[in-house]
Amino acid sequence: MKKDIFKSYIETVKPYEPGKPVKESERELGLRHVVKLASNENPLGPSRKALRAMRKALQEAHYYPESKCFYLVKRLVQELGVTEDQIIIGNGSNEIIELIARGFLKEGDQVLSSATSFLVYPILSQVCGADYVSVPMKDFRYDLRGLLGAVTEKTKVIFIANPNNPTGTYVSTSEVEDFLSKVPKDVLVCFDEAYFDFVDVPDFPHTLFHVKSGKPNVVVMRTFSKSYGLAGLRIGYAVGSPQVIGYLHKIRQPFNVNAIAQAGATAALDDRFFLWRTKHLVRWGRRYLYRRFDQLKLRYLPSQANFILVDCGVDAEEVFQALLRQGIIVRSMKSYGLNTWIRVTIGRRSQNALFYRALKHFLKKRVKVKGV
């Protein structure tokens, strides 16, 4: 095939590498039970209400799904206090990001975000031929003033993950208010709030207020993958102005969200107790691991998400491989340039304890070997 058939700016894209699957690890290592703490999934699984709704929806799997996710949108309208024309549902919030990239970007445009944030932002920007500019973080946090300083006439979209993945840090209400008052009105500002439900600080910004108050250039994205335990269904949504959301609907594929996912997500919103259990598990798990990291004298970042970024002081890939051999999957942060850091998802109590013991054993063993 002739080389010039390929787009040069796509050829340079480095594909996203997901966390290692449990079944694959068990097969490769000959282990019967592997604990995955790498992809920020909910260890409780889906709620019972969601499972019942999905089983019922399976009986009508021969029909095409609701193209605009009618019942889920109705339920989100009640939940969020917005109008139906302000919501779009996607095949995961990743699809929303892709729709925004396809809809607003062309060759030569510019996208801004942070240097240590979700890797999908640069990938989808590059796929559309846009220039992706990553602004360095300050103390592992988004530098909103730095983002403002990087805006040019070519800037079309700004992605802000809040709380941020992989750092777990957040930007506050006052920072966001100042930022939105100064950013050009023709630049689309996308707040990726995948980990919104795990936040427990009082100064976290209410970005939906800006959508409700009529700011046409603000989009808020959320997902059912994390707190609702529906990562395998791939379903998320965005809230924005009717003008922007209507435009994104023109790009969206018909039937982009399957009927099982729609039923599960709609039912999940009604299971308040399950959401409380998830939040309680994550808050307890964060406190537990903070104490354990303190005992090991390891640096970590206090998190507003369901994961923690921790500096093990040794090569992250070495830590990853050592824990993998013990049946525990975490995420190496070397792809972010954090060569000695790993990201660990909050699991059940027994899983957190297992991870701690394995990490402690590895670090002690390594110190002994180094001292020989």
d(CA 214, CA 241): 7
Q: The domain 3-45+273-371: what is its CATH number?
A: 3.90.1150.10
Give me the phi and psi of 114, to 5 degrees please: -95, 160
**Residue that wins the pLDDT comparison between 18 and 213:** 213
- pLDDT reading at 372 higher than 70: no
DSSP state of 158: E
Angle at 12 (CA atoms; ends 6, 18), nearest 5 degrees? 110
Q: What is the SS3 assignment for 270-297?
A: CCHHHHHHHHHHHHHHHHHHHHHHHHCC
Contact 249, 88 (CB under 8 A): yes
> Whose CA is closest to 207, among 189, 220, 222, 226?
220
Question: Residue 364, class by beta-carbon neighbours within 10 Å (0-12 exposed, 13-18 middle, 19+ buried)?
Answer: exposed
pLDDT at 370 over 60: no
- Which percentage of the chain shows pLDDT scores above 90? 88
Tens of pLDDT, residues 292-301: 999 999 999 9
Averaged pLDDT, 234-241: 98
Q: pLDDT at residue 347 above 80? A: yes
Instruction: Provide the pLDDT for residue 1.
Output: 58
CATH fold group of domain 48-268: Aspartate Aminotransferase; domain 2 (3.40.640)
Burial category of 367 from C-beta neighbours within 10 Å (exposed 0-12, middle 13-18, buried 19 and up): exposed
pLDDT in tens, 2-54: 667 777 777 777 776 776 666 666 666 666 688 999 999 999 999 999 999 99
Tens-place pLDDT, residues 164-198: 999 999 999 999 999 999 999 999 999 999 999 99
- Tokens 């002081």 label which residue? 313
Contact call for residues 156 and 110 (beta carbons, < 8 A): yes
85 Cβ contact partners less than 8 Å away, ≥ 6 residues apart: 242, 245, 246
Give the residue among 138, 139, 141, 109 at the shortest CA–CA distance from 124: 109
CA angle 295, 299, 303 (to 5 degrees): 100
Instruction: Report the pLDDT value the prediction gives residue 371, as an integer from 0 to 100.
Output: 45
Burial class (CB in 10 A: 0-12, 13-18, 19+), 282: buried
- Reduced to 3 states (helix: H, G, I; strand: E, B; else coil), residue 218 is strand
Backbone angles phi, psi at 161, to 5 degrees: -85, 120
Domain boundaries, given as residue ranges, for the chain: 3-45+273-371, 48-268
Is residue 258 pLDDT above 60, yes or no?
A: yes
- Average pLDDT on 232-254 reads 97
Beta pairing class for 307-311 and 155-161: unpaired
Closest CA to 216 of 192, 180, 249: 180
- Mean pLDDT, all residues of the chain: 93
pLDDT of residue 5: 77
Which pLDDT score, from 0 to 100, does residue 240 have? 98
Q: Which residue matches tokens 């729709």?
A: 99
Q: Please name the residue ranges forming H helices in the chain.
A: 8-11, 22-29, 48-58, 70-80, 93-104, 120-127, 144-150, 173-182, 207-212, 242-251, 259-268, 272-295, 316-325, 349-371
Residue 262 pLDDT greater than 90, yes or no? yes
Give CB contacts under 8 A, 24+ apart, made by 58-65: 58/260, 60/259, 61/259, 61/260, 63/259, 64/255, 64/259, 65/255, 65/257, 65/258, 65/259, 65/262
pTM: predicted TM-score of the whole model, two decimal places: 0.93
Query: How many whole angstroms separate alpha carbon 51 and alpha carbon 265?
Result: 10
**Which DSSP string corresponds to 228-266?**
TS-GGG--EEEE--HHHHHHHHHHSPTT-S-HHHHHHHH
What one-character DSSP code corresponds to residue 112?
E
Specify burial of residue 237 (Cβ count, 10 A radius: 0-12, 13-18, 19+): buried
**Which of these, 111, 168, 211, 155, lies nearest to 301 by C-alpha position?**
168
